[in-house]
Amino acid sequence: MRIIMLGAPGAGKGTQAKLISERYGIPHISTGDIFRSNIKNGTELGKKAKTYMDQGQLVPDELTCDLVVDRIAQDDAKDGYVLDGFPRTIPQAEALKHALEGRGESVDFAIDVDVPDENIIKRMSGRRACVSCGATYHVVYNPPKKEGVCDVCGSGLILRDDDKPETVKKRLDVYHSQTQPLIDYYQKDGVLKEVDGTQEIDTIFSQIQKLLG
């Protein structure tokens, strides 16, 4: 099953992608996580990506598309994957379509997790990310077992620079101008599914499981 998660930053795509990955036994591929791990390891890609990410802008398509096309060609992705944070532009969607067509494949589902902007801004200020493994939490909606400590690896939790209110506003502008057009794009392809992302995490996930059949 080849799944794409659509939705604004902070809509809960990553949380649902992780649940889908566990339930269906397919890898969760997050471009944001790939960039953050490159930043942490001080790679050239990480250095380039950071300058865009810190300003709430998108990393250019030429740094992003090949990375994903290579990742989905790896062995663990042969039976499918859930892509979280890619594609984010029409050219990225075209690059993905082209790469898949070359293998006689296509996207099976594009799941749009819909949340209004005003909820997003409130939510992001409560978001916390692990400094070490990148797992994300929310102080109210999805708290870690122990405050300020990652359930997965025991490291500290922080408010990411790109989750700060001024950057979130910029990211929402970028989302509306560059990423939202993908909803129509996948609707035309007949693979779009929509869920109301303002509900409880478990409720959203049950709906997604029904949509996936």
| Structure token digits, residue 138 | 């929310």
Cβ-closest position to ligand AMP: 32
Binding-site member from 2, 5, 9, 115 for ligand AMP (CB under 6 A) = 9
Number of continuous H segments (helices) and E segments (strands) in the chain: 9, 8
Provide long-range contacts, Cβ within 8 A and 24+ apart, for 59-62. 59/31, 59/35, 61/89, 61/91, 61/92, 61/95
CB atoms closer than 10 angstroms to residue 113: 24
* 31 is a site residue for ligand AMP (CB under 6 A): yes
Among 58, 82, 113, 120, binds ligand AMP (CB under 6 A): 58
Residue number, 58 or 111, with CB nearest to ligand AMP = 58
Does residue 112 touch ligand AMP according to CB under 6 A?
A: no
171 is catalytic: yes
The answer to whether 54 touches 162, Cβ cutoff 8 Å, is yes
13 is catalytic: yes
23 is catalytic: no
Site for ligand AMP in 171-210 (CB under 6 A): 171
Task: Please identify, using beta-carbon distances, which residue of 141 and 146 lies nearer to ligand AMP.
Answer: 141
Q: Which residues are catalytic?
A: 13, 88, 127, 160, 171
